[in-house]
Amino acid sequence: MVRGGNDASLVDYFLTKNLEAIRWNQVGDLTQFKDLESLKTKLQVANAEYKIGKINNLPSQNIL
């Protein structure tokens, strides 16, 4: 599912350029994570209000 922008204004751009963008500004460059667990740890620290189920679900929705 592509949700390019709040009003889907970027969907065509993303599809044309074969891009995927996620809005995880708080985690920074994703290449810094050696594995899924280190990404989940960073997400949990950055989003302390999220329950563990949500933390576990977030990356699985964005891994290609």
34 found inside a domain: yes
43 found inside a domain: yes
Mean pLDDT estimate for the chain: 81
State mean pLDDT over 28-56.
Answer: 89
17 found inside a domain: yes
Identify the domain containing residue 16 by its residue range: 11-60
35 found inside a domain: yes
Q: Has residue 49 got a pLDDT over 90?
A: yes
pLDDT at 64: 43
1 or 51: which leads in pLDDT: 51
23 found inside a domain: yes
Cβ burial of 39 (10 Å; 0-12, 13-18, 19+) is: buried
Number of domains present in the structure of the chain = 1
Residue 22 · residue 41 · CB < 8 Å: no
pLDDT at 30: 83
50 or 19: which leads in pLDDT: 50
3 found inside a domain: no
